[in-house]
């Protein structure tokens, strides 16, 4: 089931599915696994490039080397910009904490007060994937095996995807848009699958 909201088409799964990231279980695998870097807009590429001196102190040597050699992004198979990878594996902006959990250097620079929040919106919105069509955007739930712990945690805590992603949804689409999601949510949540 799809819901039309302004210039977006929203999958009912965003209201019905439950999700809360469980980094203790997945160790940030979404920043390491996959077949490409994180999707970027051209504005995000420029923002990362313009703030790179503030991000580099939070990066690992391998990530710095990859970015210095190849840039902050490359074009994937669909000719869309994505974050640079280290030897085709993890995102160049990944670093690991003492528990070997993958964390984001861009986000760390923001939390340290060095830059605005320029973490790629595709990362912040996950497991929602946004696809641009000619005159609308589609918001869909992306099911990935590595996120099974997040789905279990969301079920246990009874947190729908759209509520877990309130801040990034507001960042991406605005507060009024999120308020509209909240208005339609009770109706959608009641519909049988």
Domain residue limits, the chain: 1-19+127-193, 30-121
- Per-residue confidence (pLDDT) for residue 33, from 0 to 100: 86
Tens-digit pLDDT profile for residues 113-155:
999 999 999 999 999 999 888 888 999 999 889 899 999 999 9
Tens-digit pLDDT profile for residues 23-70:
889 898 888 888 889 999 999 999 999 999 999 999 999 999 999 999
User: Would you tell me how many other CB atoms lie within 10 Å of the CB of residue 1?
Assistant: 11
- Mean pLDDT in residue range 90-103: 94
Is residue 192 pLDDT above 70, yes or no?
no
Q: Is 0.85 surpassed by the pTM of this model? A: yes
């Amino acid at each position: 089931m799809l819901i039309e909201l302004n210039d977006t088409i929203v999958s009912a799964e965003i209201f019905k599915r439950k999700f809360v990231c469980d980094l203790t279980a997945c160790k940030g695998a979404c920043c390491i696994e996959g077949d490409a870097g994180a999707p970027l807009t051209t504005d995000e590429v420029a923002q990362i490039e313009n703030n790179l001196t503030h991000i580099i102190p939070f990066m690992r040597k391998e990530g710095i080397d990859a970015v210095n050699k190849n840039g902050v992004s490359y074009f994937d198979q669909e000719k869309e910009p994505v974050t640079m990878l280290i030897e085709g594996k993890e995102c160049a902006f990944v670093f690991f904490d003492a528990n070997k959990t993958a964390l984001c250097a861009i986000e760390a620079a923001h939390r340290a007060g060095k830059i605005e929040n320029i973490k790629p919106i595709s990362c912040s919105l996950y497991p929602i994937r946004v696809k641009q069509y000619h005159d609308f955007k589609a918001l869909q739930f992306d099911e990935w095996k590595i996120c099974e712990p997040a789905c279990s945690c969301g079920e246990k805590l009874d947190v729908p995807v759209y509520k877990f992603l309130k801040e990034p949804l507001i960042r991406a689409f605005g507060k009024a848009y999120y308020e509209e999601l909240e208005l339609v949510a009770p109706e959608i949540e009641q519909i049988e699958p």
